[in-house]
Amino acid sequence: MKRPAAPGKLKHRVIIEQPIACEPADSVTDEPQCWQTVTECWAAIRPVSAKEIFAAGGFVGQNDVAVTVRYDPRLDNMTHHWRLCWQNRKLGVAGVLNIDGRDQWLKILTRCTEDSMRLKNPDFDQPLQEVVNVIMPELT
């Protein structure tokens, strides 16, 4: 059986954040715009997959990344609403696995939610991912 990341493999610093209630919410997606840092920790980062979805005159790039961190009780309530910040990237949480159920390692499966992916029209500054979520939610 493959072992989780050894302490020497935890080379990347990540910030784990949870959404908090604040005003105003984003009028397009109703997502909270305020985030609270839960913890900052060392992690092993491993890219899992990448794909592009072409729609509405532009594209949405999606990168899936597996992040392994030491278990922390503050992360027990982590849901898909949380996010990780790593190298100026925002990674949305897709799932959390307590490896072996022993409260030693957590594998956090994430999706890149960068706002840098935009429509080809430079006058339209809304991230394409938000547009696709509203117009064609079955693609996301």
What domains appear along the chain, each with residue ranges and CATH number? 7-139 (2.40.10.270)
Residue 73: which residues within 8 A CB-CB, separation 6 or more? Answer: none
pLDDT of residue 41: 95
pLDDT tens profile 41-72: 999 998 887 766 666 666 666 778 899 999 99
Report the C-alpha gap between 82 and 128 in whole angstroms: 21
CA distance 73 to 61: 33
Mean pLDDT of the 111-119 span: 53
- The answer, yes or no, to whether residue 119 has pLDDT greater than 50, is no
The span from the CA of 81 to the CA of 50, in Å, is 21
Confidence of residue 73 (pLDDT cuts 50, 70, 90): very high
pLDDT reported for residue 123: 44
- Report whether 114 contacts 90 (CB < 8 A): yes
